[in-house]
Structure 1
Amino acid sequence: MVMFTNSCNAKSPEKQATAATSEKVEAYYFHFTSRCVTCKAVEAEAQKDIQALYGNKVIFKSINLDDPSSQQIAEKLQVPGQALLIVKGNKIINLTNEGFLYARKDPTKFKSVIKETVDSLLK
């Protein structure tokens, strides 16, 4: 139960710019093994929306922070806990708060936030 509390209450980093993996637009959903309904909804909605809007133009990656193999990418992107990040080059946009606000209660709004964010990086 403690991991559940930590994963759902993990503080997300502010919107920031850091060295990322490539010049392609990529979406990363960092999570823990134990997740609440909203945590799962953020991943499901983000993945569905990105696929529907962009197909293979934007890559979606779900990364379990409890898996030791995820440590390198989490450190590179400075992820302290659960997070939804949209990344292009050295630009990182954190949509974690928006995900928790809209994924379950207003998925249409969440999709528009994702679209606006990704479109700005595809220019």
Structure 2
Amino acid sequence: MTRKLLLSGILIVSAFLLMGFNFSYPWTKAEKNIVPVKSEVKKADQVIVYYFYAKPRCVSCQKIEKYTKETVSSLNNSKVVYQGINLDDKANEHYKKDYALFSKAVVLSKIVNGKQTEWKTLNPIWTKLGNEKDFKGYVTEQINTYLGE
């Protein structure tokens, strides 16, 4: 019994360390000089909420997509646009470099006067996935910050 508890504790601590390690890579930091593809740029100011995915799609990844779509929809704001992007599609490979992606991710892109002025990878979603309210609250807060609200 004690041995099982010790092993469980080690596994949990290892998982948290790995998650923290992945989130601390310098290439996950926001860059301001990335320009989205012209077809995605509108003249009006907006926030594009990207969900980048690839196969296989685990239960957690499907939940992230669902919660993100629902959050954007609940805002009922024409300035906030959701886009799911399949990174397995060759035409979308540039996003990996553009947004320094190494895994599935939610990225906010702030568009002002038709140009991307900043972007941010929402890494904390992975730790908020177990609580739908916290997840959606965090994503909403980040979107509102980009909207200036």
Global fold match (TM > 0.5): yes
- Structure 1, 19-28 or 43-52: larger mean CA deviation: 19-28
How well do the aligned residues superpose, as a CA RMSD in angstroms? Answer: 2.0
**1:20 aligned onto 2:45:** no
Q: Which runs of 5+ in 1 are unaligned?
A: 1-8
Structure number with larger C-alpha Rg: 2
The percent of aligned pairs where both chains have the same amino acid is: 22
State the aligned residue count.
112
Distance 2:51 2:93 in 1: 14
Distance 1:20 1:108 in 2: 32
Higher relative contact order (CA 8 A, sep 6+): 1
Question: Structure 2 matches for 1:3-82, cutoff 5 A?
Answer: 11=22, 13-18=27-32, 19-21=34-36, 22=41, 23-82=45-104
Distance 1:108 1:61 in 2: 21
Shift of 1:69: 1.4
- Given that residues 74 and 80 in structure 1 are in contact (C-alpha distance below 8 angstroms), is that contact kept between their aligned partners in structure 2? yes
- Given that residues 27 and 84 in structure 1 are in contact (C-alpha distance below 8 angstroms), is that contact kept between their aligned partners in structure 2? yes
| TM, length-normalised to structure 2 | 0.66
Q: After the TM superposition, which segments of 4 or more aligned residues of structure 1 sit over 3 Å from their partners?
A: none
